[in-house]
Amino acid sequence: MFRKVIFTALAMILGVAIFSAVAKDKEAPVSSQTTAMVGQAAPDFALTAADGKSYSLSSFKGKYVVLEWVNFDCPFVKKHYGSGNMPKMQKMMADNGVVWLSICSSAPGKQGHFAGKELMERMKAEGYAAMAYLIDADGKVGRMYDAKTTPHMFVIDPKGMLIYAGAIDDRPTTKFEDIKGAANYIQAALESSQAGKEVTTRNTVPYGCSVKY
């Protein structure tokens, strides 16, 4: 009788352990979705822009969205703004109904962090032409997207799926002259997706200055 009681107790303990392991296994994929991954839904976020307005990614569902991590003092970012390449792309995307959001994850006191009048003046000087310059001073959204460099680019389709993440092009230099003839990964991803084709280059290694978290 005593052995039967012990056997029953052990069976119950084993059953609880198995149930817990299965439950944890089922829950794991849900928690992993909080980090951006190409081929999965882009994590939603809400940030305040330089103009004081709040913007959320989910409010743009149904449209293509480009995310650009920015730091105006980074030489690699200066390459694309100083040459006029980035503002030109921003205007072209806007004309085609694409939402372009720039995100600055530089912490206060670190390179690239600007606020108030100084930020507005810098945006004007750089020819900034995107929909919104979003401030991510605590780096929460940057870490959510694992943004490593400035620039670091992401493309999201109308269904909210992340279809590209990585470099802006295939010329990892600070030279203005290298923009001409470079393979523009952002434009290529958008053109393929909009034509109903598979995006062939979905991930590349981003280049630039490290994000100043």
Asked if 52 contacts 132 with a C-beta cutoff of 8 angstroms, the reply is no
Residue with structure tokens 């205007």? Answer: 91
Q: Where are the domains of the chain?
A: 1-32, 46-210
The pLDDT of residue 35: 86
Is the pLDDT assigned to residue 166 strictly greater than 80? Answer: yes
Domain 46-210, CATH 3.90.1150.10 — does that match? no
Single pTM value for the model: 0.83
Is the pLDDT assigned to residue 33 strictly greater than 50? Answer: no
Average confidence (pLDDT) over 59-66? 97
User: Higher pLDDT residue, 127 or 16?
Assistant: 127
Nearest CA-CA partner of 208 in 168, 153, 149: 149
Q: Which amino acid is at 32?
A: S
